[in-house]
Structure 1
Amino acid sequence: MENLNFKIGKIDGAAVIPITKNIDERGWLAELYRADEIDESIFPKMAYVSLTNPGVKRGPHEHKTQTDYFCFIGPSNFKIILWDNRKGSKTYMNKTVLFLGEDEPASLIVPPGVVHAYKNIGLTKGIVINAANVLYAGYKKKEPIDEIRYENDSESIFKFN
């Protein structure tokens, strides 16, 4: 059963915020996050950066309480899939496919309960920044990890294709 019940559509609470690269003779500068542009409830508590090799996928997984604030700025480009897995959501069972990165720089807000995955579809290693609103593994890394993983579940309905 490969995404048979999901329909393409927007997902409530998920948002794409275009990133503008301000370019001059020195290179470029881009604002990734502004407190006056997002709700206070998703202000970042930590940030990390990851490097994903060409053709490699991360996810799908979801969080119970964490909101992710991803930044896809390049190098490389990514295909991102979101599935609304929140039974109380007005967009429950919607699926969104996005293409972000070097050619389309943007931040992506992924609310709790929205399953997400991304794949580097470019020819070079790609960088992704995430500024999450909760600490990974809690304060001093002494709490359970807020993550439900589907990538190794052969019965999962969350298929990246």
Structure 2
Amino acid sequence: MSEVLFREGQIEGVQIRPLRRFSDARGWLVELFRHDELVPELYPVMAYVSETLPGVVRGPHEHRDQTDYFAFIGPGDFKLYLWDYRRDSPTYLVAQKLIVGESNAVCVTIPPGVVHAYKNISDRPGLVFNAPNRLYAGWGKKEKVDEIRYEDLSDSPFVID
């Protein structure tokens, strides 16, 4: 599988939206999403927060049907990796890397077929929020998980540096 060659660029369908932090004497607030800013097919159906330890990588993997809606707000920073693996996409075989998190607070919408991974590049644990448009393992967790995992492939073309 490792003979796949990616070129750098922006990937069609991936949306990156800066987040605004509103601070006052009590602390801060960040709006992660609003229905008036999302198209209905991207409305979240669940949400979760994960902690990733320093140096740890999550992914690479992709979804066949699910769109992920990640918010990287800190603490800490992540290197986000995206690879367009959709054969019918105008940006097929394009790879995109971003530094996201405390230094660059953004929401990232990742459509089905875009392989993705992120690595905590900070010296402390980092938090990631996700509000996907599909339920993990379906209603009642009774369906097959919509995930194609590449983490354990020795010849994976999805390289994390």
**TM-score, normalized by length of structure 2?**
0.97
- Deviating more after overlay: 32-41 vs 84-93: 32-41
CA distance in 1, matches of 2:97, 2:65: 22
Residue 9 of structure 2 aligns to which amino acid in structure 1? G
Residue 70 of structure 1 aligns to which amino acid in structure 2? F
Equivalences, count: 161
**Change in 2 beyond 3 A, CA 1:3/1:50:** farther
2:56 corresponds to: 56
Deviations 1:72-114 (A, max 9, x none): 0000000001000000000000000011001111111000000
Whether the aligned pair in 1 keeps the contact of 2:15 and 2:109 (CA below 8 Å) is: yes
2:34 corresponds to: 34
Report the alpha carbon displacement of residue 66 of structure 1 after superposing the two structures with TM. Answer: 0.2
Report the alpha carbon displacement of residue 5 of structure 1 after superposing the two structures with TM. Answer: 1.2
1:75 corresponds to: 75
Whether the aligned pair in 2 keeps the contact of 1:80 and 1:116 (CA below 8 Å) is: yes
**Change in 2 beyond 3 A, CA 1:99/1:3:** farther
Residue 36 of structure 2 aligns to which amino acid in structure 1? D
Residue 75 of structure 2 aligns to which amino acid in structure 1? P
Report the alpha carbon displacement of residue 2 of structure 1 after superposing the two structures with TM. Answer: 5.8
Does residue 1:131 correspond to 2:127, yes or no? no
1:98 corresponds to: 98
Report the alpha carbon displacement of residue 35 of structure 1 after superposing the two structures with TM. Answer: 0.9
Query: What is the 5 A alignment of 1:101-120?
Result: 101-120=101-120
SS in structure 1 of the partner of residue 140 of structure 2:
helix
Report the alpha carbon displacement of residue 34 of structure 1 after superposing the two structures with TM. Answer: 1.0
Whether the aligned pair in 2 keeps the contact of 1:3 and 1:159 (CA below 8 Å) is: no
Whether the aligned pair in 2 keeps the contact of 1:2 and 1:159 (CA below 8 Å) is: no
CA distance in 1, matches of 2:3, 2:27: 42
CA distance in 1, matches of 2:31, 2:157: 36
SS in structure 2 of the partner of residue 36 of structure 1:
helix
Report the alpha carbon displacement of residue 4 of structure 1 after superposing the two structures with TM. Answer: 5.9
CA distance in 2, matches of 1:160, 1:35: 34
For structure 1, the residue ranges without an aligned partner over 5 or more in a row are none
Residue 143 of structure 1 aligns to which amino acid in structure 2? E
CA distance in 2, matches of 1:15, 1:114: 12
CA distance in 1, matches of 2:31, 2:149: 31
Whether the aligned pair in 2 keeps the contact of 1:23 and 1:29 (CA below 8 Å) is: yes
- Structure 1 segments (4+ residues) deviating >2 Å: 1-4
Whether the aligned pair in 1 keeps the contact of 2:2 and 2:155 (CA below 8 Å) is: no
Report the alpha carbon displacement of residue 36 of structure 1 after superposing the two structures with TM. Answer: 1.2
